[in-house]
Amino acid sequence: MEFTKMHGLGNDFLVFYGEQELPHNVSELAIKWCNRYFGIGGDGLVFILPSERADFKMRIINSDGTEAEQCGNAIRCVSKYVYDNGYIDKGQITIETLGAGVQQVSLQIEEGIVQRVRVDMGEPILDGLTVPTTIAANPVLAQPIESDGQDFSFTAVSMGNPHCVIYVEDAPNFDLATWGPKLEVHPYFPRKINVEFATVTRRDRVEMRVWERGAGPTLACGTGACATLVSSVLNGLTDRAAWIGLKGGDLYIEWDENDNHVYMTGPAEAVFKGNIF
């Protein structure tokens, strides 16, 4: 199988094209191939598959073998891959996802190469039970949560996958490794959750660090950036468009007042190609 190693702001994947469906042992393969010491290394596997509803279908398998419903960095990688490799020749494409349905993608192309990708990430889901959490509120704002003797408060947002956004004084230096895994499996979250720790520095900028469900700490999370912007607007902390500063770089996120959709703009990069035997 041929793969291309790609990343969106350091959130990295092994991207596969040409399969008709997922391999039967894909969870085992993800655990093996994503291992950074005994495998190739990556936050997950991404398969670009045929779709009856869109130009392509995207399936994402996390490094722990579980499947993710959606991934903002992965969809940018997929979009760049299919254009740069000549599998599509238009600047507006559609990608089918497991958790967020068919998403519209706009490619920003320079000299025949995709430089940036703008994705319509759809409407955020704010109903607590649908996110899902165990909390029957819509929206779930500043909800107290306790873990191992530490008190936090969170806002719940789904962008096709579940997120809880927690505001802290210094997100870039927050103890992500301690609190991320504990909050991921908190009883409030029946299907686990992605955890974002955020610090608002201006009305148009938020610094964020993420613990991803099924992958652990990553350098960037596109859906997490979208959830953070939505949460920040709901809590009155930012405007409806802002830069989200991640460890791997910045994403520009907009929450449109007219259609209620969230739009994400950012880069994607191909690193190398290889073959797995």
Is 44 part of any known ligand binding site? no
Which of 134, 206, 128, 193 minimizes the C-alpha distance to 164?
193
Residue 34 is a catalytic residue: no
Is 209 part of any known ligand binding site? no
Q: How far, in Å, CA of 77 to CA of 29, rounded? A: 20
Annotated catalytic residue within 34, 77, 164, 221: 221
Six-digit token string for 48: 């670009």
Residue with tokens 């938020």: 206
- Integer CA distances (angstroms), 190 to 134, 135, 160, 225, 257, in order: 7, 11, 15, 22, 31
Annotated catalytic residue within 34, 71, 77, 164: 71
Is 275 part of any known ligand binding site? no
Residue 226 is a catalytic residue: no
Is 138 part of any known ligand binding site? no
Buried b (16+ CB within 10 A) or exposed e, 163-200: bbbbbbeebeebebeebbeebbebebbeeebbbbbbbb
Is 213 part of any known ligand binding site? yes
Is 212 part of any known ligand binding site? yes
Report the Cα 270 to chain-centroid distance in Å: 18
Is 62 part of any known ligand binding site? yes
Is the Cβ–Cβ distance between 24 and 61 less than 8 Å?
A: no
Is 11 part of any known ligand binding site? yes
Region class of 260: left (phi > 0), else alpha (psi between -120 and 50), else beta: left
Catalytic residue ranges: 71, 221
Binding residues for substrate: 11, 62, 72-73, 161, 194, 212-213, 222-223
